[in-house]
Amino acid sequence: MAFHGLRRHDLWDAAGKLMCADSKAERLAKLRETGLIDLSFRDLDYLMSCAGLTIGTGETVRFLTPRYLKALLSFPEFGWYTNGQMLRDRLDRHGFEEWPRDQRLATADAMALMGRAMVLMADDYNSHPEVDGTQLIAWANIQRAAAQAEAERRKHKAGAKRQPKGKGLRR
């Protein structure tokens, strides 16, 4: 639910101009015609692997991340082109720490699940799944802890504001 309603991306601007490297324009134009709601796994994997580098920016990464992780966790054989290190890089490079806390927690939870799946699975694209998976789990745990600490700081700060001045314990 953290990403419910997230529709904003910058794969193309309001005028319809594609936001990508020239080499990606033809494929992105075809994806725009097809629509982003029902992307094939192949197209979703392609977009995620290019997101924020040669197609779109951080908004594209944020738009695609929940869709990508949902597909990956539903169908583990999908998407190993975009491995854990690549996902961590995209998120770190494009302002993950500035996403709303609920989105960071949901993403960290999904990334930890992905890491566990990688540890259990091996395929031709990921020759060291246990290393990539373990690193992904560690990254997710760090991100989850940071988001939870932020929530605790806000809770503590809110509690301090509610306490009336001069009403503390007296000796």
Per-residue pLDDT of the chain (171 residues; tens, 9 = 90+): 445 445 568 888 888 889 999 999 999 999 888 887 778 888 988 898 888 899 988 888 988 888 888 888 888 667 655 678 888 888 999 999 999 998 899 999 999 988 888 777 766 555 566 677 888 899 999 999 999 898 788 777 776 666 665 555 555
Structure tokens at 16: 């319809």
* Dihedral class, residue 57 (left if φ above 0, else alpha if ψ from -120 to 50, else beta): beta
Inter-residue contact 107 to 99 (CB < 8 Å): yes
d(CA 86, CA 99) in angstroms, rounded, equals 18
Inter-residue contact 32 to 10 (CB < 8 Å): no
